[in-house]
Amino acid sequence: MDMTRRPRRLRRDGVRGLVSETTLNASDLIAPVFVDATTEERVPIESMPGHERVPVSEAVARVEEVLATGVEAVIVFGVPESKDERGSRAWAEDGVVQAAVRRITAETDAYVITDVCLCEYTEHGHCGVLAEGARAGEGLTVKNDETLDLLARTARSHVAAGADMVAPSSMADGQVGAIREALDEAGHENVPVMAYAVKYESAFYGPFRDAADGAPSFGDRRHYQMDPGNRREAMRMAERDAAEGADVLMVKPALPYLDVVADVRREFDHPVAAYNVSGEYAMLRAAGEKGWLDATESAYESVLSIKRAGADLILTYFAEDIASSLS
């Protein structure tokens, strides 16, 4: 038997790490942070053990906890003190994200990204201005073009508060172009946009909607988020956002869509982000609590697979756990 090829030669201690094709670093990771204007103390998120909503007064302390693990970037989500039909607290100068970002950027060295959407701020929980007949299930749910100005105003207010990058997630057609134009007109041409370019309608978002209090009060989001069965459409979505000026292209969720992450990586030379979403976190954390697997090791392997598929930036609720294990 010809045994010229023996791959196990390169699996021995000492050389295994030298030939590793993919490695994770804390600098690859972005940690989500939830800031809640309705509370004066930290509130555990029951469906996401280990995570909390924090009041604005605790935002800096929460980010400092992230930085202590070696993670350098956070993405901030807000829960406002009140909601209305159009989500006007999303772009308020004294809004929850704006207030938190001012404090975080003034008192820490974190790279601060903000999520730009309206679902946490509208009383109906949808990601834009409701269309006529939406509550009755007639036609499309959200008025796309009327929503664009509100998203642009929100992004502009985040950057005015000090955000280093904005990340529009509403899946409105033209959202990247509208935000890029608004930022440029306000003198923020050097602030990058990370587009949720490929965002599927997914059952894996459940725990996040608890965390951000952003579940729709009726219906679902199938009229503006993508069909989970569509792979070719993902390339059209990424191409559209790239043409409108997106600096980073995101795929969300990550693990069920690694084929799409790989496709985006292959077809575009932009940095690629992937969101290891709340449901992916919750199922591993729950299995770990049951003793069925090691949550930290399985999280590392999962996030490593996302990077191997082609992601340069990974948003994950395991960011602190993984970064701590790397140090």
Q: Name the pLDDT band for 217 (thresholds 50, 70, 90).
A: low
Q: Evaluate whether residue 4 is within a structural domain.
A: no
Q: Evaluate whether residue 12 is within a structural domain.
A: no
Binding site for Zn(2+): residue ranges?
Answer: 117, 119, 127
Task: Give me the chain's average pLDDT, please.
Answer: 92
* Domain count across the chain: 1
Better-scored residue on pLDDT, 245 or 129: 245
Taking the whole predicted model, whether its pTM rises above 0.85 is answered as: yes
* pLDDT tops 90 at residue 297: yes
Summarize the confidence of residues 182-193 as an average pLDDT: 98
**From 143, 252, 290, 307, active-site residue:** 252
**Do 46 and 210 touch, CB atoms closer than 8 A?**
yes
* pLDDT tops 80 at residue 252: yes
Q: Evaluate whether residue 2 is within a structural domain.
A: no
Q: Evaluate whether residue 63 is within a structural domain.
A: yes
**Do 309 and 260 touch, CB atoms closer than 8 A?**
no
Binding site: residue ranges?
Answer: 117, 119, 127, 209, 221, 278, 317
**From 83, 143, 199, 290, active-site residue:** 199
Q: Evaluate whether residue 3 is within a structural domain.
A: no
Q: Evaluate whether residue 261 is within a structural domain.
A: yes
Better-scored residue on pLDDT, 225 or 30: 30
199 a catalytic residue? yes
pLDDT confidence of residue 85: 80
Q: What is the pLDDT of residues 90-113, one digit of tens each?
A: 999 999 999 999 999 999 999 999
Q: Evaluate whether residue 10 is within a structural domain.
A: no
Binding site for 5-aminolevulinate: residue ranges?
Answer: 209, 221, 278, 317
290 a catalytic residue? no
Q: Evaluate whether residue 13 is within a structural domain.
A: no
Summarize the confidence of residues 7-32 as an average pLDDT: 95
CATH of the domain at 291: 3.20.20.70
Q: Name the pLDDT band for 222 (thresholds 50, 70, 90).
A: low
Domain that holds residue 227: 22-324
